[in-house]
Amino acid sequence: MRDDFTRFEMEYRWAVQEILTKVSILREEFLQLHRYNPIEHVNSRVKSPASILGKAARRGVPPSLPAIRKHITDIAGVRITCSFRADTYRVLETLTSQDDVRLIQVKDYIAEPKPNGYKSLHAIVEIPVFLSTGPVPVIVELQLRTIAMDFWASLEHKIFYKYDREVPGHLRDDLKQAADAAEQLDLRMEQLHHEVHGVHGRSDLPVGPDIDNDLLERLWQLSLDTRPETG
């Protein structure tokens, strides 16, 4: 079982490497040929065996590798942070149009944010990992978001665990308002980008509202409140 699980985990790590290679090639192409790079930075992870088995238990998935492979789709994850909202869709479309990437599911939390204000573009894809015994299809979760969305999600994550998942109501309200402020910032920055580099922007963007300075101040204060304590 240990050897099987080791091989199982390695397949997901290799699948992440395949995705990262594709993203690296795209970044180079965008930069060299189009003189514009929509990808700011990329992170990846593969869940540990304990985390995988724990999630399987919580979901009632049998502790067998075939069942886990079938029912848990976020064992391997790649997060791509883009400059603007339009870039998230553009990068996802470019990746999933490749012949060896099969798009299984998309959840667009940018168009339809979660109730707490979370925004991101999620996609479940399948990519082959070529081993000595032949190709193995492996599922990878992609998350694409803007810098503002990524900042908000990181902040929300810190608050969520600081309060052991029981976030006080007033902080939930502040987080929702902070998400609104991040959206305003995204709209305004994409507008400015379109004005300066129209060829790379979108002409159909809505007119962004004025940035609410009070909300931005609250967003900044929340980030300070969740800093690690010292002393």
Tens digit of each residue's pLDDT (9 = 90 or more) over 120-172: 999 999 999 999 889 999 999 999 999 999 988 887 777 766 666 676 677 77
Q: Catalytic: 40?
A: no
With a pLDDT cut of 90, the percent of the chain lying above it is 52
**Residue 185 domain-assigned?**
yes
Report the pLDDT averaged over residues 200-216.
42
d(CA 100, CA 64): 27
Catalytic residue among 18, 141, 156, 190: 141
What domain range includes position 62? 2-148
State the Cα torsion 46-52-54-58 to the nearest 10°.
Answer: 110
Give the integer Cα–Cα distance in Å for 13 and 45.
8
Specify whether 106 is located in the same domain as 199.
Answer: no
Of 148, 174, 196, the residue that ends a domain is 148
Entry pTM: 0.79
Residue 184 and residue 102 in one domain = no
Q: Nearest CA to 131 among 1, 5, 11, 2?
A: 11
**What are the tokens at 19?**
């995705």
* pLDDT tens digits, one per residue of 36-76: 889 999 999 999 988 999 999 999 999 899 999 999 999 99
- Whether residues 48 and 86 fall in one domain: yes
Task: Copy the structure tokens of residue 50.
Answer: 């304990």
